[in-house]
Amino acid sequence: MKINKITVNNLFGVFNHSISINNDIGITIIIGENGLGKTVMLEMIEAFYKGNYLYFTNVSFDEMIFEFEDSVKWVLTQELKNEELPTLSLKQINKNGKSFKSIRLLEYDPVRLDMIARNIGRNSSNLTRIHPKYWEDRRTGETLSAEDLVNNFNYNKRHHLDLGFVDEEKPKWFTDKFEIINVSLIETQRLISLNQRVEKNQERTVERYAKDLSRTIKKYLTESTELSSKLDRTYPNRLIERLKNSTNISKEFLNEELKRLEAKRAALDVAGLIEIEKDSNLLAIENPGNEIIDVLMLYVEDSFEKIKIFDTISRKIEILLDIINKRFKHKKLVIDKEEGFLFKSTILKNSEDKAQIINVNQLSSGEQNELALFYILLFQTKKDSLILIDEPEVSLHISWQNSFIEDLKEITKLNNLDVLIATHSPDIISNNWNLKVELKGLE
């Protein structure tokens, strides 16, 4: 189930915005002047699908409408009973436009909210209370409200009742659509700020992703080893059966399959997933007998089965390597099962006359930001997700901006993503003006 259109009426008490999502190509670009609410609309979409209903108490709007591909609409409304007790309700309007169902999502007591925020503040060594209603996060210098503490510090949804949330069992009409749509917001500026302020015991963003990739590769290698052992144990019996029932495979077909196997192994070697030993390439068979063909064909079939497990991750790594290595100058990204990301200088050599290794933390802020952004899109998003990206142009060279959408198309195709981008940069749009939606102010 996909979202076709998102509308917010009377945003900030002024603007009415509608965004039609380009589900065919998978990329929609939002443009508009500062102050119209591009970023806020992305945050509203994420807050709704993450269940962070407290977010809406800090945004002025009349209604937010989600229109789905089956013509059903969800209408989210906020009402102030008085100045301190907002409620949040959701109404589903069926495609006939008449019948509807509704559910109340939020009704909370600010006194209870303050009590819980104080408990969070007392239990965290990183928070200092600087005002009866505000705390400071010493790691980032941010000033946080009670709502911020509840939303940002992994407050568990099962405790919503403590805040006066309506935490009844959700109806099927709600869960059927809500639970199958994954939404993630990538805040590009936040990726950079996390890299700029890091305490001694904290990892930088790119370091964390490098370790994550290393763990992922090792998991695939373990699964491949287990499958290989299983196939090897049954190989003799399967070979005997194959020899009993010869398949009459031609030597031409066998040699083509041997070439295809070597090409796939070579690609996996480049991706850092397997290592090809020197002189291990399989030679073409000139005049094999039927038995030799059957033996080798079973070997080829087993080999393809053993490396099939790498199909998805190898394609992701291939796209990441292509994107990064055509952008980064004087360095080359290679994938290493131990290090994850390994950068080698293309102009500097060490004492052993080998390419000098560049630590990921030595990359520029723009390079780190780009690496992190594409890593998230490739490896940390679920298939069929709606991804929200705010200002991807931050810290990017103009040439990188020009190729951003084309690179993104490869990723949306692979992971079947819909991506909603808010940008000020015409270079990000490049030749893709057909994908834009312009938010307008009052004429």
DSSP 396: -
Confidence check: pLDDT of 196 > 70:
no
What residues does each domain of the chain span?
1-100+172-182+381-443, 109-164, 202-365
Q: Specify the length of the chain in residues.
A: 443
Q: pLDDT tens for residues 288-305?
A: 678 888 888 999 999 999
Q: 260 and 267 in contact (C-beta within 8 Å)?
A: no
Q: pLDDT tens for residues 124-177?
A: 888 888 888 788 888 888 888 877 777 665 444 433 434 444 545 778 888 888
Query: How far is residue 83's CA from residue 164's CA, in Å, rounded to a whole number?
Result: 16
Q: What's the mean per-residue pLDDT of the chain? A: 84
User: Quick one: pLDDT at residue 378?
Assistant: 93
Q: How many CB atoms lie within 10 A of CB 196?
A: 10
User: Quick one: pLDDT at residue 162?
Assistant: 41
pTM of the model: 0.79
Query: How far is residue 340's CA from residue 208's CA, in Å, rounded to a whole number?
Result: 10
Query: How far is residue 76's CA from residue 66's CA, in Å, rounded to a whole number?
Result: 8
Query: How far is residue 435's CA from residue 27's CA, in Å, rounded to a whole number?
Result: 7
Query: How far is residue 439's CA from residue 42's CA, in Å, rounded to a whole number?
Result: 13
Amino acid at 92: Q
Confidence check: pLDDT of 368 > 80:
yes
User: Quick one: pLDDT at residue 103?
Assistant: 84
Q: 416 and 384 in contact (C-beta within 8 Å)?
A: yes
Give 83's pLDDT tier (boundaries 50, 70, 90).
Answer: low
Which distant-in-sequence residues (6+ apart) come within 8 Å of 137 by Cβ? 126, 127, 144
User: Quick one: pLDDT at residue 154?
Assistant: 45
User: Quick one: pLDDT at residue 166?
Assistant: 52
Query: How far is residue 239's CA from residue 381's CA, in Å, rounded to a whole number?
Result: 42
User: Quick one: pLDDT at residue 156?
Assistant: 42
Helices 311-327 & 251-270 angle (0-180, nearest 10)? 50
Which distant-in-sequence residues (6+ apart) come within 8 Å of 342 by Cβ? 333, 334, 335, 336, 357
Which distant-in-sequence residues (6+ apart) come within 8 Å of 222 by Cβ? none
The residue among 45, 25, 28 whose CA lies nearest residue 37 is 45
User: Quick one: pLDDT at residue 202?
Assistant: 45
Pick the CATH number of 1-100+172-182+381-443 from 1.10.10.60, 3.40.50.300, 3.40.720.10, 3.40.1520.20: 3.40.50.300
Amino acid at 184: S
User: Quick one: pLDDT at residue 144?
Assistant: 86
Q: How many CB atoms lie within 10 A of CB 33?
A: 11
Which distant-in-sequence residues (6+ apart) come within 8 Å of 61 by Cβ? 8, 9, 10, 11, 12, 44, 78
